[in-house]
Amino acid sequence: MEEQKPRRPVYDERDREIDLLSKGKALDLLAGCAELFTILCILKGNSAWMGGLALLLLGMAAGCWYRGQQYEERPFRYVALLLGAAAAGLLLWFAFGGQGVA
Residues 21, 27: Cα–Cα separation, whole Å: 10
* 33 alpha carbon, distance to own chain's centre: 11
**Would you say residue 84 has pLDDT above 90?**
yes
For the stretch 1-57, pLDDT in tens is 567 776 766 778 888 899 989 999 999 999 999 999 999 999 999 989 999 999 999
pTM reported for the whole predicted model:
0.75
Average pLDDT over residues 83-99: 88
What does the domain layout of the chain look like in residue ranges?
A: 15-95
Helix ranges (DSSP H) in the chain = 13-44, 49-71, 74-95
pLDDT of residue 64: 94
